[in-house]
Amino acid sequence: MRPRVFAFLLLLLAWTAMRPAAAAAQPTWIRVSGDPAVMSVAAAPPGAPPAVVVDASTTYDVKARQNVQRIRAWLDAPLPAGVKLTIELQAPAGAVSAGEVELTTSPQDVVVQLPKNVTAYGLAITYRLTATAGSGTMLLTTRVVTLEVTT
Amino acid sequence: MRKVMGVAVLAVLALAVGAREVAAQTTAQQNVTFEVAAINQIAIADAGVTLVVNSATAGQAPAAVSATSSYSVTTNEVGKKITAKLETDMPAGLTLTLELAAPAGGASAGAKVLNGSAAEDLVTGISKLNETGLTMTYSLSATSAAGVVPPGNRVVTLTLTDGV
C-alpha cells in the first residue's frame, strides 16, 4: 500500500474511532439530529382557525453529569403576531418533560429533573405551529431554537 | 521513517480537531422554518332547505315563505367577498332571494335575488377572520301567474373570492 493511501486510511480510522470516545468523555452535552422540515400552515376547516402543523422529524441526544438538572429552550427572535410555536421534548428516563411549551425569546424549561449521569439518544423533539386567521399570510421565515443543558 | 512520522502527526491532528468538534456542547440549535399560506374556506351547514309556497290572502299574490340555514367562513387574507349563484334560473314567476349575515367587519348586501346567469355579491369587506353559525335566510315568492309549479330544486353556490 502506498504511504499516502495508508496515511489517509489511518487518518479516517482515527477520526471515526475518536468521535464517540471523545463525546463520551465530555461531562455534559446536547446535540440535535438536524433541522425540522419546513412547517406550512395552509389549511383550515371552514369557520375554524388555521389547522395546527406538527413536526416530529428530529431528535436529540443528551448527556448530563452532576449538577445538571434541566434543558431549556428559546428563540433568537420573537414570532410574528398571531403565530405560535411550541416545542415538546421527550424526556430521558428519570427526567420529566415540561410538555408542550410555547417558545419565546426567554429561556424556558422543557425537560427538568435530569438524573445524574444520564445519557440518552434519539429522544423526540416535537414542534407545533399555529396561526390565527388574523395573523394573515406569511412568507417563509426562520427562527433559531436553542436547547441548553443547564443547572 | 519520515512518512511514518507524517502519518502519526496527521493522526494526532485529526484527534485534536475531532476532539474540539465534539467538545462539550451544552447548547444545540435548530433552524425552524415556517410559513402561513393563503387560506380561504366557506361551507354551508345544511345540505338543503325546503320552501313551499302554498297560501295566499284573498286578493293578493301567494305569500312568500322563508327558511334559514347557516354558513361558516375562514380567511387569513384581506378584501374578500361572498357571492351566490344558482346553477340555473328559477322557473318563470318564482323568485328566490338569499340574505347572508355578515361576519365581523363585513357588510351584508341584504336580500338579493338569485339567478343562474350572474353571481350576486352578498357580503363584502371580509378580512382575516373565522366565524361559524352565520345566518342564511332564503325567501321564495311566486306570482299567481306562475301557476302550480311541480317540486324542483336549485343548487346555490357560495363563493369566497377577491373583492370588496
Is B36's CB within 8 Å of A135's CB? Answer: yes
Question: In this structure, is residue A75 part of a structural domain?
Answer: yes
pLDDT of residue A20: 47
Contact B78/A at CB under 8 A = yes
Alpha-carbon dihedral B81, B86, B92, B95, rounded to 10 degrees: -40
**Domain containing residue A130: CATH number:** 2.60.40
- The domain containing residue A60 runs over which residues? 27-150
B44 min Cα distance to partner chain A (Å): 9
Phi/psi-derived region of residue B110, left when phi > 0, alpha when psi is between -120 and 50, beta in every other case: left
Residue A116 is assigned to a structural domain of this protein: yes
Question: Which set of grid coordinates corresponds to residue A108?
Answer: 424556558
Answer yes or no: is A11 within a domain: no
Query: Between A7 and B127, whose confidence is greater?
Result: B127
Structurally, chain A folds into a number of domains equal to: 1
Residue-averaged pLDDT of chain B: 90
Please report the domains of chain B, with CATH numbers, ordered by start residue.
Answer: 40-162 (2.60.40)
In this complex, do B31 and A144 lie within 8 Å of one another by their Cβ atoms? Answer: yes
Amino acid B83: pLDDT: 98
Whole-number pLDDT of residue A69: 85
Residue pLDDT, tens place only, A38-87: 999 999 999 999 999 999 999 999 998 877 689 999 999 999 999 999 99
Q: Which of A2, A15, A59 to mutate to test the interface with B (most CBs of B within 10 A)?
A: A15
Structural domain contains residue A21? no
Most confidently modeled range among A20-24, A26-30, B47-51: B47-51
Chain B residue numbers with beta carbons less than 8 Å from the beta carbon of A135 are 36, 76, 128
Q: Is residue A62 part of a domain?
A: yes
pTM of the model: 0.79
Which residue, B42, B44, B81, is CA-closest to B156?
A: B44
The interface predicted TM-score (ipTM) is 0.81
> CA gyration radius for chain B?
33
> Any chain B CB within 8 A of the CB of A122?
no
Q: Which residue from B164, B141, B138 is spatially nearest to B46, judged by alpha carbons?
A: B138
Residue A63 lies in a domain: yes
- β-strands A101-102, B112-113: how paired? unpaired
**Cβ pair B74:A50 closer than 8 A:** yes
Is the residue at A5 inside a domain? no
pLDDT of residue B22: 45
The answer to whether residue B15 neighbours chain A at the CB level (below 8 Å) is yes
DSSP A93-140: TT-EE--SEE--SS-EEEEE-PPTTEEEEEEEEEEEEEE-GGG--EEE
Q: Of B2, B15, B11, whose CA–CA distance to A11 is shortest?
A: B11
